Amino acid sequence: MKRLFTILMAAVICLPMANGAIKIHTIGDSTMAEYDENTTDKRGWGMYLGSFFDPAFVTVNNRGKSGADTRSFYTQAAYWASVKSQMSAGDYLIIQFAHNDEGTVTNGMDNLEYAEYCQKNNLPAPTDARGTNPQTTYRDFLRKFIDEARKLGVNPILVGPICRKYFSGNTIRRNGQHDLGDKFSKIEDGVLYENQSLPANDSSMSYVHAMREVAKEKNVPFLNLTEATKDMYLKYGEAQCTQLLFCNGDNTHTNAMGGNLIARQAAQMMKDAGILAEYIEIPTSITANPTSIEIGETYSGVAQHKEFLLTGFGLEPASGTVSLHATGALTISTDKENYAKTASVDYAGSTLFQKVYVRAMYENEGENKDSIVVTFGENSVCVPVSASVISLAGGSAVSATWTVNAKPMPEPVVEGPISAVFSMNNMAYIDYNSSSKNYFTDGEETGLTLGRFHNSADGSSRTPWPAGEIDENASRYMDFAITAPASMEVRITKISIAIGADGTSNMCYHINTGFGDGFTGVKTIAERQHMANRVVEHADITPTLTIPSGETLHIRILPWHDSGEVKDSKYICLRSVVIEGQAFAPSEDPKEGIDQVPSNQVPSTKVIENGTVIVVRPDGSRYSVLGTRL
């Protein structure tokens, strides 16, 4: 009875805390970024940093961007400009870049310098726009972030990029520590020199050294997370790092345990440096990370999947059992297969690290609040779960279907009052496989032909895929755009893509969504690493996406070829793309009753507030992307 009472009381008081007054904004690359647990096992360390701060005083706005280097993050409107719009005097800015600044083609050269060299020498233009030099442009963009943050009254912090898992005996290789001194390229007096090297004591090609120098110059804190993660990896050893901390087959991106431990290390380094130390809590008891789950807006009857981590270090007693109980529309699982209202987790060695999967299936419209209560001994932890549920009843079906059965890319078959268009950037549609190349299989179907697409500098002919790509290139994509009519909004309910690879098993892709010409509100809704050669795979996605009236949603496939060598004649292939949804008149929104917007009004504009896209109509009224009036 006492234990039941503890659970019930915890459920009663399980309420989300108010956001803290101080915000920490984090900018960087994919090793820091947010990831959807339904999409990938990657977890950026920025996802977990907030759990080590007292949420009553400090919150974290993680804006790490997959594939970003310092230049692209600074110049692309959806990123640095939008982060600045979220900043207030007294906030903090954590800056971690280098992984993509090293470049794939450029190998330590500045990409614009290399592009100019290619133009002068009649070489194909680089399709990868990433790459800065540690002595010049890398430092310049770090200075820009620092100066512009300080102008807003924000406190910048430079953080060394986490190591790559490049073991060499009992140490991490030089390039794993972001020093390209063993192999880099340079242009001098108009001549390209490749495979250059420097002595071990020469740090001219070290991005970490360059960051440290900028920190000294600008008198800002520098946290050497590079060295700290090197020490962490060596402590675990290569085998355990691979098994416990990193994604499968990946030497760069961490999983949940790796991301959590790195965030814990970063928080400890901030505390040791006296940065917000009074608000930092490094727990030794069992904690949940994140401390609360905000599903946000979701459709009724559509399952949503989330996760949280249970962690504990130095636990007493040294072994035991932790019990979990889910309320309301929630069920939980520890293996991502068997879901129930209750679960238990055993721990030993005074240490607990357990991922808990949460399934939420809501039917009732409006705000829904549930919780997961974790009990261990006489103690309990509560994880609040909230969702705003929107009905799909009463809509008019819409769809756009691209059946890739010819070259050029066929026009879509459109049903309902939407419009749709396909476009590409730095990609070429090479061919629709001839009868001699009908070698794809799709389940029991064999002998299939697919449209083949290739990396391209000019949009019409093949350009070899660069070596060393580990992530998306934001300037290389195939784009499927859906525009809502001026008097209706469209709620996307399903995205289905039949996709494959030809000539390789190293083809990878992200599927990202974004709005408008600026591709704002970017979200990765699917990811695939290393597709099987000539096998059709199906990405069937049930997103929660609403296109406001008159606005355009872009669904982009961003491929890259994960190889250590430059490769040609490697294709990403399509069989079909289907986008389905329901159209509603804004005035008939089943949740809020949005005012009717005349079709002859000036189109809406969008702004980003606290990482969320807000639609502002010409009359000044404001809506969420899902059409809820704010």
Cα 328 vs. chain centroid, distance in angstroms? 29
Same domain, 346 and 453: no
Is residue 198 situated within a structural domain? no
Q: What is the pLDDT of residue 596?
A: 31
Q: Is residue 580 part of a domain?
A: yes
Query: Do residues 555 and 482 make contact, with C-beta atoms less than 8 angstroms apart?
Result: yes
CATH of the domain at 269: 3.40.50.1110
The amino acid that residue 516 corresponds to is: G
Residue 324 maps to a domain: yes
pLDDT digits 0-9 by tens, 300-339: 998 999 999 999 888 888 999 999 999 999 999 999 999 9
Q: Are residues 378 and 424 in the same domain?
A: no
Q: What pLDDT is stored for residue 619 in this prediction?
A: 53
Distance (Å, whole) CA 479 – CA 453: 13
Residue 259 covered by a domain: yes
Contact at 8 Å (CB) between 403 and 497?
A: no
Give the CATH number for residue 512: 2.60.120
Lowest pLDDT segment from 2-16, 449-463, 605-619: 2-16
Q: What number of other Cβ atoms are within 10 A of residue 36's Cβ?
A: 15
Considering the domain architecture, whether residues 376 and 403 belong to the same structural domain is answered as no
249 and 151 assigned to the same domain? yes
Burial group, residue 344, by CB count within 10 angstroms (0-12, 13-18, 19+): exposed
pLDDT tens digits, residue range 72-105? 999 987 899 999 999 999 999 999 999 999 998 8
Average pLDDT over residues 266-271: 97
Q: Is residue 2 part of a domain?
A: no
What's the pLDDT score for residue 598? 31
User: Which DSSP state fits 70?
Assistant: H
H helices of 224-286, in order, are 225-236, 238-240, 256-272
Predicted pLDDT at 586: 75
Whether 469 and 326 map to the same domain: the answer is: no
**Residue 598 and residue 478 share a domain:** yes
Neighbours of 219 (CB within 10 A): 7
Measured in degrees and rounded to the nearest 5, phi and psi for residue 285 equal -100, -175
Write down the pLDDT at residue 77.
73
414 and 366 within one domain: no
How many domains does the chain fold into? 3
- My answer on whether 418 and 525 are in the same domain is yes
pLDDT at 615: 53
Mean pLDDT of 520-528: 91
- pLDDT of 297 over the 80 cut: yes
Q: Helices marked H in 191-321 — which ranges?
A: 207-218, 225-236, 238-240, 256-272
Taking only the tens place, the pLDDT of each residue in 586-609 is 744 433 332 333 333 334 554 445
Q: Are residues 256 and 307 in the same domain?
A: no
- Domain annotation covers residue 181: no
For range 99-126, the mean pLDDT:
93
Same-domain status, 372 and 418 = no
Last residue of a domain, one of 390, 407, 440: 390
Rounded distance, CA 541 to CA 342, Å? Answer: 28
Phi-psi region of 523 (alpha: psi -120 to 50; beta: other; left: phi over 0): beta
Buried (b) or exposed (e) across 293-310, using 16+ Cβ within 10 A?
bebebbbbebebebbbbb
Provide the b/e sequence for 424-438 (b: ≥16 CB within 10 Å): bbbbbbbebbeeeee
What mean pLDDT do residues 106-123 have?
Answer: 95
In-domain check, residue 326: yes
Which uninterrupted H or E stretch holds 80? helix 80-86
Nearest CA-CA partner of 237 in 177, 313, 167: 167
| pLDDT digit string, tens, across residues 200-257 | 999 999 999 999 999 999 999 999 999 999 999 999 999 999 999 999 889 999 999 9
Q: Is the pLDDT of residue 390 over 80?
A: yes
- Are residue 531 and residue 598 in the same domain, yes or no? yes
Using the 3D structure, point to which of 248, 279, 310 is the last residue of a domain. 279
Residues 243 and 299 in one domain: no
Here the CATH number for the domain that contains residue 365 is 2.60.40.2310
The CA–CA distances, whole Å, from 469 to 102, 191, 231, 514 equal 11, 25, 26, 23
Range of the domain at 65: 21-101+131-165+203-279
pLDDT bin (cut points 50, 70, 90) of residue 4 is very low
Confidence band of 617 (pLDDT split at 50, 70, 90): low
| Domain end residue (candidates: 333, 362, 390) | 390
Report if residue 475 sits inside a domain.
Answer: yes
